[in-house]
Amino acid sequence: MIRVLLAEDQGMMRGALALLLGMEEDIEVVAQVGAGDQIVHSALTARPDVALLDIELPGRSGLEAAADLREECPECRVLILTTFGRPGYLRRAMEAGAAGFLVKDGPVEELAEAIRAVLRGETVVDPALAAAALGAGPNPLTGRESDVLAAAVDGATVADIAAKLHLSESTVRNYLSAAIGKTGTRNRIEAVREARRQGWL
């Protein structure tokens, strides 16, 4: 049996996925979690062969958890399953050590086959997303520019961002200005929106 950990914050979706996967003769869902910061603990306890992770989870993102699993449970293969098929997310997932990346609108049979494939050591990526990622190019934002944009998400002031990231206000303004330029937008609200659309944040 292929042992699967399922991380999905929407309870109904999580239950439906577990039910559907459980109907496959060779797949058993051994753990279900609704938050990203529960993934590693559950994986260490349940010892799944494959972790099926959503990206946008409370506590810790699926991308961050994928990197954690690579360190803590290297024998567990990671398959990202998300609503958000963004090129930047795909690139970040692969950098975090994920073996596969699928969007949620595919049939369950395709998901079951992807689980089997990653366990065989194959890489599985949604074809349309792979093509988009190749055309999108790399994330132009530096780590610090991304940090500053992420801190600006909720409309925080320059002073708030500076305090949160332990930077001077002039440094924050410089990072914001650079991020706005690199995203080709007019202000930081648009820059945040574009960076999220691309999957860079």
Q: What number is the average pLDDT over the span 5-26?
A: 94
At 179, list the tokens. 């991020």
* Tens-place pLDDT, residues 158-192: 999 999 999 999 999 999 999 988 888 889 888 88
Sign of CA dihedral 78, 84, 86, 92: negative
The full set of domain ranges for the chain reads 2-136, 143-198
77: DSSP letter: E
- Stretch (H or E) spanning 187: none
Q: Which residues pair with 51 in a beta bridge?
A: 5, 78
- In this structure, CATH architecture of domain 2-136: 3-Layer(aba) Sandwich (3.40)
* Tens-place pLDDT, residues 125-167: 887 776 666 556 677 888 899 899 889 888 889 999 999 999 9
* Tens-place pLDDT, residues 139-150: 788 889 989 988
Domain 143-198, CATH among 3.40.50.150, 1.10.150.120, 1.10.10.10, 3.40.50.170: 1.10.10.10
Alpha carbon distance 35, 61 (integer Å): 8
